[in-house]
Amino acid sequence: MSIFKAIVGFGLVFSSLSAFAIDQGNIEKSVQLKDGSTVHQFKDGKMAMESKFGRPYRMKDGEVMETTNGKSIAMKGDEVARLSNAIRSHMRP
C-alpha cells in the first residue's frame, strides 16, 4: 500500500502549515506577499522572509515588498537566522 503517498501527503500538510504554526510567541504578524512568499514580523518590529516553499531566505533591509492586497511594505532587518531557528525548533519532536 501507499506509504509513499502518506509521506508525500504529510510533507504537503507540513509545508502548508509552514511558519504560521511556529514560534508564535515571537512572530507578531505574518503577511502574504504577491509573489507567494511570506514576510514575518517579530515583536520588536524586525522582519524575516519565508519563501513559498516554506524556507527562510535573505532580503536586504529597506527593500520594498508588495502584499497580496497591493500594499507596499519596506523590509526591516533581516532575521533569517531567527526564522530558521524557529523552524528548526518546531521540527524537533
Q: Which residues bind Cu ion (CB under 5 A)?
A: 39, 49, 59, 65, 75
Q: How far is the CB of 49 from Cu ion (least distance, A)?
A: 5
Q: How far is CA 27 from the centre of its chain?
A: 10
Burial readout 6-29 (b: 16 or more C-beta within 10 A, e: otherwise): eeeeeeeeeeeebbeebbeebbee
Q: How far is the CB of 2 from Cu ion (least distance, A)?
A: 39
Cβ proximity to Cu ion: between 80 and 90 the closer is 80
Q: Please count the CA atoms within 13 angstroms of the CA of 23 that sit on its side-chain side.
A: 23
DSSP 44: T
Cβ proximity to Cu ion: between 6 and 52 the closer is 52
Cβ proximity to Cu ion: between 75 and 80 the closer is 75
Q: How far is the CB of 3 from Cu ion (least distance, A)?
A: 38
